[in-house]
A and B are shown apart, each in its own frame.
Chain A
């Protein structure tokens, strides 16, 4: 259906002799060339701008992560789960307080550890460890995890994200640097993964 608005708006162009199709002047041709030229310059300008904007998209995951220390081994007694802190390997002083990040370190026994991301697998809220009930609880939507990081109750679609770890001297190192979400998972390591020890 034709839009009646078309009739209600004065359109001066229809009877303007300058707009007749017969009018093909050099000036019009040059104007069209100038538009094309400007479009080409615009495209050349846009390429680096888009590269700047979307550059992070094309960076490989591995380049974000690095081995960082969560502290000396004696800070994590066997059989206990304690809060560890590490510095973002890509961090800068401009990050301020956000440069230091928490994680939960479970020292199972001997050289066997599990290092969990602080982020609940549901909505990335910070989970708390309760040693009495041996549960991680999330304050946001009530996700609960057992001590090995598996889901105990609530909405999380998977267990706690786990960092790969290795022991270097008396330091416990984890492979970290990326915020864990369902598509940027912290680690390929599953619970009790022996091969991930350093």
Chain B
């Protein structure tokens, strides 16, 4: 056995005499870091790079089988899922890896922000990090397109429609994005090149720069309340801290990074096994229009903003807000490069993180189950509950049929079943009088179309008769002025449903 060990050492020395890696690598690994930075809070960056490696490896393995053309991509994904041993698992790893990567990058960014690590001298590290976040999101979007299914097809349309809103050069941008006038083979190839060559190339290069700067400038020390960053003194203070009270990165801090990365990889594998691969949904056939396209989780919040923003503001919001947000993120370290690092003395920063996190969470959960989208099959699929039909007159029951047949249900729910785009109608009779209901049905308003030309007078009468019964056993709304104007005493609400 000693012979093998000696031969191994000899080979190592032979290689290192030529490569010369051992010294710089050992120095980088053992570089001193502040003792308090060997913390569980400092593990997210390394976890993100480990997931990036997972994505590269699984991506290459998928590329061995995946057919990158608009015609065959969807079929090859189904072959990967169903026809190839463990193909589904590789797809699941890649898909879940992407979700985990975005999550970890966001957590890493939040931690870096709250610990003031973007301040002097690490401004550029933060700025490169902002680009890494954008590239990660770019990978997620282009990856979604390569899962060339119905959602990918219509997602491209949504992307093109956003480009089309840019003034003056909108048409050019649409053609540039689609690689032609319409979604087709060239569009697909374009996104394949972006996902497989262009974005990963830049991403890996910038990760290199990012890590290089972390090594060169040193990891951020654990912030202490009241210890302010000053350009004139910080370098000396930091060096004093690392040299007097420092520990080598390997092994003192690195074991936490390695353990956390292992845990994250296990979590990705668990998701891959338990939840399986993501998609593909229906084939990318534009003539199959029975679809409600929705973006992947990472972009649901944008989808929600599109839906909730007032239409008049939409274009400016779409075009200006992203640029403004990116500029603010890039400018942050240049504007606030000095001063307090500790979160307890930066209430505005903490408040901002909370506000952004809560907003993103709310918008994402709304996007998950969007109340603004009509339920396109509710009119034919969701029954009118029996209690709304019991003891009703033939006219009112006819009204319930009109209610379903005219697709009212696509936007209005009864007892929570149906669309949520418009108000729930369980108790509409307590909120609107008969004449108000007639007016609303015939003329519409705001987000409701006018049904004046689609409904016959008989259908309108029947529909309003049915709506009048939806009073939740409360007193229906009444126009108090009318009986007075007609010179009659206040009447009890009508129960017979007749006009």
Contacts and interface: CB of A to CB of B under 8 A. Distances in A.
5 contacts: A57-B172, A128-B289, A137-B407, A139-B293, A141-B373
Given A98-B286, A100-B285, A137 B376 contact: yes
Nearest to A8: B235
B170 to A, nearest CB: 3
Interface string B169-188: 01110111011111111000
Nearest to A57: B172
A127 B290 CA distance: 9
A20 interface: no
A8 B121 CA distance: 11
A177 B444 CA distance: 35
B163 interface: yes
B289 A130 contact: no
Interface in B292-312: 292-293, 306-307, 311
Nearest to A97: B285
Nearest to A126: B289
A141 B121 contact: no
A178 to B, nearest CB: 4
A141 B306 contact: yes
Interface string B17-38: 0000000000000000000000
Given A97-B285, A124-B160, A137-B407, A92 B170 contact: no
A61 B171 contact: yes
Nearest to A179: B182
Given A88-B182, A124-B161, A181-B174, A139 B292 contact: yes
A152 to B, nearest CB: 3
Interface in B60-87: 69-72, 74
B453 interface: yes
Interface of B: 69-72, 74, 121, 153-154, 157-158, 160-166, 170-172, 174-176, 178-185, 231-232, 234-235, 283-287, 289-293, 306-307, 311, 314-315, 372-374, 376, 379, 405-407, 410-411, 421, 444, 446-451, 453-454
Contacts of B410: 137
A140 to B, nearest CB: 6
Name, among A134, A154, A181, the residue most crowded by chain B CB atoms within 10 Å (CB to CB): A181
A181 B179 CA distance: 15
A3 B232 CA distance: 8
A181 B167 CA distance: 12
B314 A155 contact: yes
Nearest to B450: A152
Interface of A: 1, 3-5, 8, 54, 56-57, 59, 61, 64-65, 83, 85, 88, 90-102, 118-119, 122-128, 130, 132-135, 137-142, 144, 146, 152-157, 177-179, 181-184
Overall SS of chain B's interface: loop
Contacts of A133: 405-407, 449, 451, 454
A135 B411 CA distance: 13
Given A57-B176, A135-B449, A181-B163, A142 B373 contact: yes
B179 A124 contact: no
A102 B314 CA distance: 27
A98 B164 contact: no
A4 B287 CA distance: 63
A59 B185 CA distance: 18
Contact of B185 (A8, A92, A118, A123): A92
B446 A124 contact: no
Contacts of B183: 98, 179
A153 B448 CA distance: 5
Cβ-closest 3 pairs across A and B: A181-B164, A96-B71, A183-B170
B175 A57 contact: yes
A119 B234 CA distance: 57
B289 A102 contact: yes
A132 B410 CA distance: 13
Contacts of B454: 132-135
B184 A98 contact: yes
Contacts of A98: 70, 153, 183-185, 284-286
Given A90-B182, A135-B454, A140 B407 contact: no
Interface centre among B176, B284, B372, B410 (most CB of A within 10 A): B410
A181 B449 contact: no
B161 A181 contact: yes
Nearest to A91: B184
B165 A183 contact: yes
B338 to A, nearest CB: 10
A122 B161 contact: yes
Contacts of B176: 54, 56-57
B448 A3 contact: no
Contact of B154 (A57, A124, A144): A124
A127 B293 CA distance: 11
A144 to B, nearest CB: 5
Contact of A142 (B166, B314, B374): B374
Nearest to B238: A8
B449 A146 contact: yes
